[in-house]
Homo-oligomer: A and B are copies of this chain.
């Protein structure tokens, strides 16, 4: 099997990390199918996620492991991990309680581009929790 074919057709996980050592991870609600957030993992975060069943990412801004929910309490229980054809992107099907976005929404994708425009947004959701309260109680 050629290298490319092995990656695309093989049954071995060989994640392709980028030059910063990261792979894109899409967290999708296992029940509703809604995409909740898109984040990044380094090899250690991926290993921890697979071993523990709790989503662990790598925070690019804080440059360290980010155990999802460590501050907000809003963890993600991983039910399935999918990988794409060239193995440079993952989907985590996760079970969540509520409020996966730090702004207070269930999903980070709470705005859509207004039809007929290229720069106007409109809300598609309402906040489900108060981030000021959630982050305060854990600090």
Given contacts A50-B118, A51-B118, contact A26 B11 (CB under 8 A): no
Interface residues of A (CB under 8 A from B): 8-13, 24, 26, 28, 32-35, 37-38, 47, 50-51, 80-85, 89, 91, 101-103, 105, 108-113, 117-124
Is B108 touching A84 in the complex (CB atoms < 8 A)? yes
Scoring A33, A34, A122, A124 by chain B CB atoms within 10 A of each residue's CB, the highest score goes to A33
Q: A33-B33, A80-B113, A85-B102 are in contact. List 4 more A-B contacts (CB 8 A).
A: A24-B24, A26-B35, A38-B84, A83-B121
17 inter-chain pairs at a CB distance below 8 angstroms, sorted by A residue, are A10-B121, A11-B120, A11-B123, A12-B120, A12-B121, A13-B118, A13-B119, A32-B33, A33-B34, A37-B84, A80-B113, A82-B109, A83-B112, A84-B101, A85-B102, A85-B103, A91-B109
